[in-house]
A and B are shown apart, each in its own frame.
Chain A
Amino acid sequence: AQSVTQLDSQVPVFEEAPVELRCNYSSSVSVYLFWYVQYPNQGLQLLLKYLSGSTLVKGINGFEAEFNKSQTSFHLRKPSVHISDTAEYFCAVSERSSGSARQLTFGSGTQLTVLP
């Protein structure tokens, strides 16, 4: 079984400032890692994913994340945020052994609020 911990439930940040949203996971097997974003009254949109290879992955809207196997972390970063980045962000994992991301285990989410 896996678990995902998002260390901050709310992150306020001023526009054009950098931001880091933290995610740690626990799993007895190898996992794939994902970050999703949810805007109000909408479903989830995939921001980026780590499957294998380079530990630094780039996603949409200028976001990037770094996989750290030794610390079992997958923190999300953006160098300069915009008002439009205000949303809830979810970190998720799925087992590699399944061969596909059939069952996602999500963290509790981080509400990012970008202030003018």
Chain B
Amino acid sequence: KAGVTQTPRYLIKTRGQQVTLSCSPISGHRSVSWYQQTPGQGLQFLFEYFSETQRNKGNFPGRFSGRQFSNSRSEMNVSTLELGDSALYLCASSTGQGLEQYFGPGTRLTVT
């Protein structure tokens, strides 16, 4: 089985722009979670989608949003980028009932 894939792997954006990151889960997995990893704040949960519905949400501003498509692929959008949004964004998939999450390699976003 192919693992979790994330595109793009690297991204450079300018402050004020918006960005969309993509995540394709493992085949058969219906749950996709997103995490932000920064040196200062560590790993923080953004949100989780299951069957196209946001099931859980972390403590991030409304500039961070996401969605999930019928094929379980998920996108994450960040609007009005700030320098502090520079981070590694990790996507994880699971069956939805399972207790294991499988992580992708991440998208490294740099905001200048």
A binds B: yes
Q: How far is the CA of A49 from the CA of B94 in the complex (A)?
A: 15
What B residues does A46 contact at CB under 8 A?
100-102
The reply to whether the CB of B8 lies closer than 8 angstroms to some CB of chain A is no
The reply to whether the CB of A70 lies closer than 8 angstroms to some CB of chain B is no
Chain B: interface residue total (CB-CB under 8 A) = 26
Task: Find the A residue at minimum CB distance from B57.
Answer: A103
What A residues does B4 contact at CB under 8 A?
43
For the residues of B in contact with A, the DSSP-based class is strand
Could you jot down 22 A-B contacts, CB within 8 Å?
A42-B106, A43-B4, A43-B103, A43-B106, A44-B92, A44-B103, A45-B103, A46-B100, A46-B102, A49-B100, A51-B99, A90-B43, A100-B94, A100-B98, A101-B98, A102-B55, A104-B33, A104-B43, A106-B42, A106-B44, A107-B42, A109-B43
Do B101 and A101 touch (CB < 8 A)?
yes
- Which residue numbers of A lie inside 8 Å of B, CB to CB? 32, 36, 41-46, 49, 51, 90, 92, 94, 98-109
B39-79 interface with A by 8 A CB criterion: 42-45, 48, 55-56, 58
> Top 8 nearest A-B pairs by Cβ distance?
A43-B103, A106-B43, A44-B103, A101-B99, A43-B105, A108-B42, A103-B45, A102-B56
Q: How far is the CA of A109 from the CA of B44 in the complex (A)?
A: 12
What A residues does B48 contact at CB under 8 A?
102-103
Within the complex, the shortest CB–CB distance from B50 to chain A, in Å, comes to 8
Within the complex, the shortest CB–CB distance from A85 to chain B, in Å, comes to 19
